[in-house]
Amino acid sequence: MSYVSKYLQPGETVAYETRIHWIVYWRAVIAIVLAAAAFRVSQLHMDDALVTIFRGLAVLLAAAAVFEWLRAEIKRATTELAVTDRRIIFKTGLIRRHTYEMNRSKIESVVVDQGIAGRICDFGTVIIKGTGGGIEPLHGIDRPLQFRSYVTAG
């Protein structure tokens, strides 16, 4: 059971849910591409010392890719972002949980920041500003403009 569905108030309904975009895997993808390149270079005809260095580099990069993939998977699986008919709910964390909640009536503005890659792949940073403060930037949100539409529709 998700955090959002577990902690809904009586009569509260979820209007929209989103998550972290798949782009969080970019470090793992780059590391595995570099590992494959290093391994391929090690297959070229060169002296044994260079072959050992490039194969060692390939192993290290492959290990880094696995680590980064797991880190991204945990981040993506443990981050929830929802708009209900009453509030905005953001939760992240596996062991150490971090949550933000803001009543929709207290929202003054919603800022969406997307670079070129974000526009192409439809991800971005969302900042919700409310009366007396705001939620810190939420980076890598999937479909941020659609999220903003649900926040401002209420």
Model confidence pLDDT, tens digit, residues 71-122: 999 999 999 999 999 999 999 988 899 888 888 888 888 999 999 999 999 9
Contact 110, 148 (CB under 8 A): yes
Contacts of 61 (CB under 8 A, 6+ apart): 31, 32, 34, 35, 38
Dist CA 90 CA 139 (whole Å): 12
Three-state SS sequence of 52-116 = HHHHHHHHHHHHHHHHHHHHHHHHHHCCEEEEECCEEEEEECCCCCEEEEEEHHHEEEEEEECCH
What is the token pair recorded at 47?
């002296």
> What pLDDT, in 10s, does the model give residues 130-152?
887 777 788 999 999 999 999 88
What is the token pair recorded at 109?
């503005």
What pTM was computed for the model? 0.80
